[in-house]
A = this chain, B = another copy of it.
């Protein structure tokens, strides 16, 4: 019987695809982190490369408004550059155009792409349109930079590290997923002032995404349930009768937060919190747990410590 990816799962498919790739010696980090890192022979910097796409009916509906969709499409890729501690420079756009579209929609989409790019000093240097008869598809490729050897990887978490999360989590699909700001400024400030061991952006939910850091770093973690910042939307949804999902579960498993999760040495934790509050008074920062030697992800709440069974959002298997 032929396997389809719906059974195989998104991450297994990506693992299967990427395992066969051979990389040139200039590639410092290939597939498997937020961005690829390529040494291009510049004395002080390395290149960051990332591609990310949004598809009508999967990641957005037309009713969202095309300017917001454009902002989201660009913001997602920029969020990955932020997660490496880098700076974004240039972007390329691939636009799949459905048979039913209007020039006004395309104009609005590009207004959103331009607005998000411009706010972060990114030039849209090229792109392509192609037909994709049934739905819009917008793919954004971003080129960025990071100081040589300073890219913050998923694999750098160390036993004892404090785990931090920016913003508030959960319920982003109620609207926030279209209006987030990629944390480029915040991440740039972090890496300029602290030795950030591991970092990534949250797109599939903290419970799922943090596992990438744990697996790639060869460590485990314990989260503190009451320290996890739940968004207003997640808390409101917790009261909605049949559709109710406990706010903590939403914060752990809802996707599309586009916040940062990162780890630093425990001796830096208080300085990070204090410095962040002073520099970014309007953006929440929470210490949500710590890195432990024992593999696996556990959560501590009023009932004690238990394994966290819930996973993040898998784009091929909505749970």
Q: Does A278 contact B (CB under 8 A)?
A: no
CA A122 to CA B92, docked complex, whole Å:
19
Q: Does A97 contact B (CB under 8 A)?
A: yes
Q: Does A217 contact B (CB under 8 A)?
A: no
Partner of A17, one of B22, B96, B106: B106
Contact B135 A38 (CB under 8 A): no
CA A176 to CA B123, docked complex, whole Å:
36
| A residues adjacent to B (C-beta < 8 A) | 2-6, 8, 10, 13-14, 16-18, 20-24, 26-27, 29-31, 35-36, 38, 40-42, 45, 47, 49-55, 57-59, 89-90, 92-97, 99-104, 106-107, 110-111, 114, 118, 121, 123-135, 137, 139, 141, 143, 145, 315-316
Tell me the number of copies of this protein: 2
Contact B4 A51 (CB under 8 A): no
Chain B, Cβ-Cβ closest to A77: B128
Partner of A110, one of B20, B89, B96: B20
Partner of A133, one of B17, B57, B114: B57
Q: What are 20 inter-chain pairs, A to B, with CB distance below 8 A?
A: A4-B102, A13-B103, A16-B106, A17-B110, A20-B111, A21-B114, A22-B114, A30-B125, A36-B90, A36-B92, A40-B47, A40-B89, A49-B143, A53-B96, A53-B128, A55-B96, A94-B94, A94-B141, A96-B137, A131-B315
Contact A130 B58 (CB under 8 A): yes
CA A101 to CA B17, docked complex, whole Å:
15
Within 8 Å CB of A97, what residues of B?
A: 5
**Given A24-B89, A30-B125, 19 other A-B contacts at CB below 8 A?**
A2-B104, A3-B103, A13-B106, A24-B121, A36-B90, A36-B125, A40-B40, A40-B47, A40-B89, A47-B143, A49-B92, A51-B93, A51-B141, A53-B128, A94-B141, A132-B137, A134-B134, A139-B139, A143-B143
Contact A141 B92 (CB under 8 A): yes
Within 8 Å CB of A92, what residues of B?
A: 36, 49-51, 141
Partner of A2, one of B17, B53, B103, B141: B103
Partner of A130, one of B18, B124, B127, B315: B315
Report if A38-B106 is in contact (Cβ < 8 Å); known contacts: A27-B123, A125-B23, A126-B30: no
